[in-house]
Structure 1
């Protein structure tokens, strides 16, 4: 037996912690339908599944509080599709007179425990997720929610844990805001730098490529657990190649497919089917190949990096929209891709200057996004340790909590 720990039905926990059913520490109530009183002029927000799943960014206003929510109430999503991301997601109410509880949302009102601690404990709790069979819509019942086991430290420790996790959330939010601001700066820079001037050249892609625009094989290869990465349009994320979710083909297939298409550093990849217009530039010598939903553009006459950025402009997106066949899933042919007009400064040095400025902004964005990813991982680790008692915070009272060391 580990010193200071005790064995329970859910594993080892600190000796001074308790296990309680949610029904013993909180009151519960189901929400009501508000559809008939929705109004853009309403002064209240109906807390529904979309509001919670989108972290409050998407909301509907209503004219009345049919079921008012109060400070420290917890709202929990009771219904979701199979393997959905909203089931059991929680929202903590932190003010009176603003929110009302919609149907298919439950209200959990803590009796004496720290509401923010319970928020972190119950939010997407694996107990609730266990009701998702993966094959039909999940609808949590009131009795199922109230049967959830909850680990309860002493109240001062609950408050200290909640404060530490709130600090992590504040850090995450500040980075998200900084990234959003940086993206707006990039958008403004692109607008200023890529707006054509009177002395700029205009050529279609066919006139500035080293080889005709091509795509990957129009067949489904035999996929392997390892081998040569084989990218499709889903591997283009935020104008970058996403190497995290790969399929692999054999070297034999790669050699065969390479007779038609073989990406190399500096090539531009453009989504030509399904997610038409997604774009990335190859920035490494990594050995891989592409499938038919991606087109390969190998620029020759102008800066390929400049072309990569110009292909992201509204001008080009409108051209792509014009050429795209929308009768099925959306598709643009290689011949039409070659008809896209690219406007550019005559001077290669000016093209390079523009591309360098935008590349620097992208580098700053990538660094911030990597930092955000790291902070989210830190918070996840904090939750695993603090909410199980494996790490204890030093406290005498909540007022003595002086912050978690990140």
Structure 2
């Protein structure tokens, strides 16, 4: 029978606080920011070059350390460093205590939803909630002896091969979804014959497509109130920036308000089925549709677009808002930062490109199929995560 004892996270892990004043002179070439960490993946696939970007980071990490994103922990960003470098101050550098837990078993903690739930619970701040190591160190977990850990590590290594394969497929799937509309337009122009395209000040577009300002394709554009309604254990859902991810509503950690505040917060208009909701700050550009038979109240830093049904369908307006063409405009308006602020007046002037209704519906249906296939991959990944949790 496997012996287990309950320990705290701080008993098996330490926070690394190495710094450098001159990273290049100290031999470091690469840096990691939060934008380089992928949600749910322990593998680092991107990084920046210190000599090219001259980041202000001073925190040092070494190969084998865990880089944990402490800002907005609900994004579940943590990764294993495969090289030495420097990182953002919004990343906690961690190292397992070797005589207590094998590194490969320690890594399983970052696949445990209970750990992430604890990180979210211990975070503070409304705009960009952050947790800290002094809070995380109190998380309790079972610890088996080193001999049993070796068996767990062997099983984990085999499961990780499958997990890495799924992660690569999810990454490719997400990229294809995000660039679907853009790639379609580019392919149409690339293969177009004379008369099948038209020139605009934004470049060539397919014949039959038109470029509008956002305000001209919406019946209504509503900015949220600049404060938060009162929260209660139940009532009317308050959709916040943390409740929209990858084109859909995330119901986890949803807050609720009462009928009184709802009426105040929806004086400019009540969200209706088919309205597009978009985050305009921290982070910018997360998009979803208001579901059918669902009463919602918008929290801070949100905007609502009600499509003009004579020009655009709800589904295609969501697709356009998720496109790289539209998202690049948002980043420009926010001075290149996903945590920046977009002014409502400027956003109304953002450009959208629309085909006729028949093609809108066809492209929206294809987009939906891509999302459904992505959901299947996500479910497989979640099922594998449950297996990781069982062996941890």
What TM-score do you get using the length of structure 2 for normalisation? 0.63
Structure 2 residue corresponding to 1:190, chosen from 181, 186, 208: 181
Instruction: Tell me by how many angstroms 1:359 deviates.
Output: 1.3
Where does residue 256 of structure 2 map in the other structure? 248
* Cα distance in 1 between the residues matched to 2:31 and 2:217: 54
Instruction: Say if 1:362 and 1:250 are closer, same or farther in 2 by CA, change over 3 A.
Output: same
Tell whether the 8 Å contact from 2:28 to 2:85 is kept in structure 1 after alignment: no
Structure 1 residue corresponding to 2:171, chosen from 177, 180, 190: 180
Instruction: Say if 1:268 and 1:161 are closer, same or farther in 2 by CA, change over 3 A.
Output: same
Where does residue 190 of structure 2 map in the other structure? none
* Cα distance in 1 between the residues matched to 2:144 and 2:47: 32
**What's the secondary structure of 1:330's corresponding residue?**
coil
Where does residue 288 of structure 1 map in the other structure? 296
Where does residue 306 of structure 1 map in the other structure? 316
Where does residue 396 of structure 1 map in the other structure? none
**What's the secondary structure of 2:390's corresponding residue?**
helix
Tell whether the 8 Å contact from 2:213 to 2:349 is kept in structure 1 after alignment: yes
* Cα distance in 2 between the residues matched to 1:276 and 1:216: 14
Q: Deviations over 1:316-342 (max 9, x none)?
A: 234334555899951321x43332222
Where does residue 376 of structure 1 map in the other structure? 385
The answer to whether structure 1 residue 38 and structure 2 residue 49 are counterparts is no
Instruction: Tell me by how many angstroms 1:378 deviates.
Output: 2.1
Structure 1 residue corresponding to 2:368, chosen from 348, 359, 366: 359
Tell whether the 8 Å contact from 1:216 to 1:289 is kept in structure 2 after alignment: no
Q: Deviations over 1:253-291 (max 9, x none)?
A: 223433322112211112234433322222332221112
**What's the secondary structure of 1:277's corresponding residue?**
strand
Instruction: Say if 1:356 and 1:61 are closer, same or farther in 2 by CA, change over 3 A.
Output: closer
Instruction: Say if 1:355 and 1:194 are closer, same or farther in 2 by CA, change over 3 A.
Output: farther
The answer to whether structure 1 residue 297 and structure 2 residue 305 are counterparts is yes
Where does residue 103 of structure 2 map in the other structure? 119
Structure number, greater radius of gyration: 1
Instruction: Say if 1:32 and 1:258 are closer, same or farther in 2 by CA, change over 3 A.
Output: closer
The answer to whether structure 1 residue 151 and structure 2 residue 144 are counterparts is yes
Structure 1 residue corresponding to 2:350, chosen from 302, 326, 340: 340
Map 1:49-64 onto structure 2 (within 5 A): 55-57=43-45
Map 1:77-92 onto structure 2 (within 5 A): none
* Cα distance in 2 between the residues matched to 1:318 and 1:338: 15
**313-322 vs 362-371, which deviates more?**
313-322
Instruction: Say if 1:84 and 1:244 are closer, same or farther in 2 by CA, change over 3 A.
Output: closer
Q: Deviations over 1:300-331 (max 9, x none)?
A: 22222112111223332343345558999513
Instruction: Tell me by how many angstroms 1:228 deviates.
Output: 0.6
What TM-score do you get using the length of structure 1 for normalisation? 0.61
**349-358 vs 185-194, which deviates more?**
185-194
Instruction: Say if 1:39 and 1:136 are closer, same or farther in 2 by CA, change over 3 A.
Output: closer
Structure 1 residue corresponding to 2:278, chosen from 244, 248, 270: 270
Instruction: Tell me by how many angstroms 1:59 deviates.
Output: 6.8
Instruction: Say if 1:249 and 1:362 are closer, same or farther in 2 by CA, change over 3 A.
Output: same
**282-291 vs 174-183, which deviates more?**
282-291
The answer to whether structure 1 residue 330 and structure 2 residue 314 are counterparts is no
Provide the alpha-carbon RMSD of the alignment.
4.8
Instruction: Say if 1:364 and 1:226 are closer, same or farther in 2 by CA, change over 3 A.
Output: same
Tell whether the 8 Å contact from 1:272 to 1:295 is kept in structure 2 after alignment: yes
Number of residue pairs matched by the alignment:
313
Instruction: Tell me by how many angstroms 1:32 deviates.
Output: 11
* Cα distance in 2 between the residues matched to 1:162 and 1:31: 28
Where does residue 213 of structure 2 map in the other structure? 204
Instruction: Tell me by how many angstroms 1:296 deviates.
Output: 0.9
Instruction: Tell me by how many angstroms 1:185 deviates.
Output: 3.1
Structure 2 residue corresponding to 1:167, chosen from 148, 158, 170: 158
